[in-house]
Structure formats: C-alpha cells, structure tokens
Amino acid sequence: MARRPAVAPDPALADLLGSWLLALRAEHKSPATVKVYGDGVRRFLAWSASTGAPPRLDRATVSAFMAALLDAGAEPATARSRHLALRRFAAWLVDEGELPTDPLLSSRPPKLDQKVIPELTGDEVRRMLAACAGPAMWDRRDEALVRLMTETGMRAGEAVALKVADVDLRRGLVLVVRGKGGKGRYVPIGPQTVRAIDRYTRARKAHRLADSPALWLGDRGKTFTYDGAAQDPERPGRPGRYRRLPPARAAPHLRGAVAGRRWQ
C-alpha cells in the first residue's frame, strides 16, 4: 500500500506552541521543563507530518502517537513525558480560549514498567572503594561520593547537586534539596562517610574553583557534572576505576543498591 504523502503540521498549532513556551517562561518554569514540554509537542507535530495524520489534539490521535512511540522502542517514561506535554498544552489552549473544552482531560498516559535494577554486592562496593584509594583530590571525591550514595540511597542527580553549605559534618547530616519546588530533607551519614567527605573537602581547598558553592569539583580545574559522574573515569597510568563492573552497575546507579548499609 502506498504511503500517504506527508503534510505540513497545522501552522496554527505550531504558532501557538511558541506562545505557550513564552507563557511557561513567564511562569518561571525551569529551562529543562520548557524544553521537555516543547520537545513533546514538536515530536507530536513531526509525527503527524510524517504519517499524514492531521495534528489534532484529541484522544484518538494522541493515543495513536503514543502507540507509535512505544512501537518504535521508546521507553514508557518517554511516552508519558510526551503525553504530559500534550496534556499541559491542551489545558493552556483552553485557558487562552483557543479551544472550547479540553479534549485530553480524560486521556490516560501509558503505564510505566517497573524496572528492576540489579543490586550491587558488598564485594562490588568494596572494589569500587578500593579503586578510589589515593591521595589526589579526585580520589577522595570519588570515595566520598561512593560512600555517600551507598549509605543514603541518594539519587545520583541529588548527590551531584549538593552544595558545600548542604553538608554538616559535625552533626553528620546532609541536606538534599529537590529541584522541583526546592523542598529538602536531611539525611544522616555515618562516621566513615563523614571522614571521607572531610578528607575530600580538605583536598578541595587547592582547586582553582574552591570558592564555588558546589560541593563536588572536577579534575584539571573543571566543574563536576552528572555526566561526569556517569563516565568511567580514567587516570594516567591506571585503568578506568569502575571498568570491572558492568556499566549499569557503576556509580550513577548506586541509589538503593546497598542503601542503608554503613561501611564502617
């Protein structure tokens, strides 16, 4: 069967997307949120153009879009994110008087699969800690991160986002601030983790960015990011310190792996 020729997205809907993104910025939504929402609607418009389906915000069309995403191998979480973007866009269109009623009000997102993350064994964590042994600042940083995440079950993003002011070594407490809403919680840390962070912060004083409010600093005078935590670090003259572990079981996925254990 011959494919229908692709049609351009509804220009009115595409134009309204730009206005919605301006409204989101005016509401002080984070740049990441604006991007995710915008990407969701743009993907919907691109899918409509590629299939020849009119880019209508109705349940049938959005359901077909969700099915196409999942059939193409998208994660259910990605499909849910696209669905949420379309739901929010439709609600804004109603608020602005562009639509009489919300056509997606009762539309349900795809169900999420419960992912099973394999636990790190005690031996694997000890090997990671052994790989972090050394006098350099990055050695002490990596040991402190591994101990902090294995003990508290903290998310990688939460750990990397910590500020110097969030850590109270005297009381053995760390303030974890979530990105959305800025709500935080205190988590206790044991003596070995306190010691590891203290050793790191002393070495950190020689870094050119020592005055930065960020707790974790990178190598060679650089900052430290989530992507940096996700890499398999390599140092001159030594192998990648997590290379002996499967990639999915290294530092970024320590949350919950051995949470609650204290490596004394």
Q: 92 is written with which tokens?
A: 């804004």
| Length of the chain (residues) | 264
Q: Provide the pLDDT for residue 225.
A: 66
Q: Which string of b and e fits 94-124 if b means at least 16 CB within 10 Å?
A: eeeeebeebbbeebebbeeeeeeeeebeeeb
160 vs 258: CA distance, rounded Å? 18
Q: Provide the pLDDT for residue 113.
A: 64
Distances (CA, A) of 196 to 73, 203, 207, 210, 263: 42, 11, 17, 18, 11
Cα 132 from chain centroid (whole Å) = 25
Q: Provide the pLDDT for residue 7.
A: 39
Q: Provide the pLDDT for residue 24.
A: 93
Q: Provide the pLDDT for residue 178.
A: 65
Cα 139 from chain centroid (whole Å) = 24
Q: Is the dihedral of CA 155, 187, 118, 74 positive or negative?
A: negative
130 vs 205: CA distance, rounded Å? 24
12 vs 10: CA distance, rounded Å? 5
End-to-end CA distance of the chain: 67
3-class DSSP state for residue 204? helix
Domain 122-253 = CATH 1.10.443.10: yes
Q: 168 is written with which tokens?
A: 């109270």
Every domain of the chain and the residues it spans: 11-95, 122-253
Give the residue ranges of the chain where pLDDT is below 50: 1-11, 230-264
Q: Provide the pLDDT for residue 247.
A: 36
Q: Provide the pLDDT for residue 153.
A: 83
